[in-house]
Amino acid sequence: MSKITIYQFTDPTCIWCWGNEPVLRALDYLYGEKIAIEFIMGGLIEDIRTLFNIEGPVNLVIERANARIAEDWRRASQRHGMPIGKECMRLYTEQYTSSFPQNIAYEAAKRIDKERAKLFLRRIREATFTECRRTSQIDILVELATEVGIDAAQFIDKYTNGGAQADFMQDRMKCRRNGITGFPSYLVSEGNTNIILGGYQNLRTFHTVISRLSGGKIKPRRIGPSLANIIDFAKHYKSFYPAEIETTFSLDRAQTDAMISELLQKQRLSSQTIGDGRKLTYITNARSRYTTKESATNKNSSIA
């Protein structure tokens, strides 16, 4: 049986794609090499000046468009639980009117290293939504690329030589051919069988689709919400958000907060306030009361 591949039709600046990051991380953590997750760039905003049919001077049009986007981001964040920064209100200016640069940047990174490109996409999302950085600027994109281990000179070459732009246009055509009109959307593929999922999705839906496509043969690891397992998750991803723990371990908000609080007290995690949320980081030099044997036992528990 071939591996199941989940394609996300996406844009690096889509707030609901940021909101679906907990599900993607849960899929990656629970299924590992049994599945592959890939991204198809769709280009959310070609020109902010024409997006909302706002009339008036260009500077006022962009100001009002930014305000509408900011309100959309606030409402979405409250629903899906992934935080946004308090000052993320001016992503677009008269000089930077499109989200296409971020899409092309991903394609450029993908031409260099496909796996690092996925880390880069995550960093673009994070920088856009929690750090309030104007990620359409080439200097910021170069900085984010180097953070995930992509050579700056290679990245600039791939970004500017035309190949990445062509890849992006091909991805946009894939969106059209599959009838994709909103982000995120998904194509889940196994062999010659494809299932399209439109819009923001929860983890249970993916469990159902993966089981159906694999005839029940591909199953997630059975991992309980123990402190040792959450530490293992933290070690694997280094930094994360409470919603990602909540989704991966099927917890409610109160349970998530309680377990995070205990790990903060034990100095296994550090916490950084972001807007009305927080970012958690694994403390690498912390001494653990949990044995390696216990963590390995919990990590390898499987129903496959």
Q: What is the pLDDT of residue 135?
A: 97
Closest CA to 208 of 225, 186, 236, 192: 186
DSSP-assigned states of every residue in 88-121? ------SS---SHHHHHHHHHHHHH-HHHHHHHH
Reported confidence tier of residue 292, pLDDT bands at 50, 70, 90: very low
Domain boundaries, the chain: 4-177, 227-300
pLDDT, one tens digit per residue, over 31-76 is: 999 999 999 999 999 999 998 989 899 999 999 999 999 999 999 9
CA of residue 301 relative to chain centroid, distance = 26
Residue 237 sits at φ, ψ, to 5 deg, of -105, -10
| Cis status, amide bond into 220, omega within 30 of 0 | no
> What are the tens digits of pLDDT across the range 255-286?
999 999 999 999 999 999 998 899 999 998 75
Q: Which residues of 46-72 are buried (b: 16+ CB within 10 A; e: fewer)?
A: eebbebeeeeeeeeebbbebbeebbee
Q: What is the pLDDT of residues 69-125, one digit of tens each?
A: 999 999 999 999 999 998 777 899 999 999 999 999 999 999 999 999 999 999 999
Take residue 266 and report the two structure tokens written for it. 């034990």
- Give the pLDDT score at 53: 86
Burial of 213 (0-12, 13-18, 19+ CB in 10 A): buried
Q: Which pLDDT belongs to residue 286?
A: 57
CATH class of domain segment(s) 227-300: mainly alpha
Q: How many residues does the chain have?
A: 304
Which residues are CB-contacts of 298 (< 8 A; sequence separation ≥ 6)? 223, 224, 226, 228, 229, 232
Q: Is residue 20 a contact partner of residue 200, using CB atoms and an 8 Å limit? A: yes
Angle at 96 between CA 90 and CA 102, to 5 degrees: 95
| Averaged confidence pLDDT in the chain | 92
**pLDDT score at 261:** 97
- For residue 273, give Cα distances in angstroms to 76, 91, 131, 281: 19, 21, 11, 12
pLDDT score, position 272: 96
Long-range contacts of 127-131, Cβ-Cβ distance < 8 Å, separation of 24 or more:
128/12, 128/13, 128/18, 128/88, 128/91, 128/102, 129/15, 129/18, 129/73, 129/82, 129/83, 129/84, 129/85, 129/88, 130/83, 130/84, 130/85, 130/88, 130/274, 130/275, 130/279, 131/85
In the chain, what percentage of residues exceed pLDDT 90? 88
Instruction: With 0.95 as the threshold, say if the pTM is over it.
Output: no
Distance (Å, whole) CA 21 – CA 247: 10
What pLDDT does residue 302 have?
A: 33
Rounded to the nearest 5°, which phi and psi values hold at 7? -100, 125
Contact criterion met (CB below 8 Å) for 130 and 274: yes
Per-residue pLDDT, 174: 97
Higher-confidence residue: 287 or 58? Answer: 58
Task: Using the structure block, give the residue that is written with the tokens 């694997």.
Answer: 236
206 CB burial (10 A radius; 0-12, 13-18, 19+): buried
Q: Does domain 4-177 have CATH number 3.30.750.80?
A: no
Say if 4-177 and 227-300 have the same CATH topology: no
Residue 291 has pLDDT above 60, yes or no: no
Q: Does residue 295 carry a pLDDT above 50? A: no
Strand pairing class (4-10; 185-190): antiparallel
pLDDT given for residue 87 in this prediction: 78
pLDDT of residue 30 exceeding 60, the answer is: yes
User: Residue 304: pLDDT band by 50, 70, 90 thresholds?
Assistant: very low
Sheet holding 35-41, edge to edge: 35-41, 4-10, 185-190, 193-198
What pLDDT was estimated at residue 215?
A: 94
Residue range 130-140: average pLDDT? 96
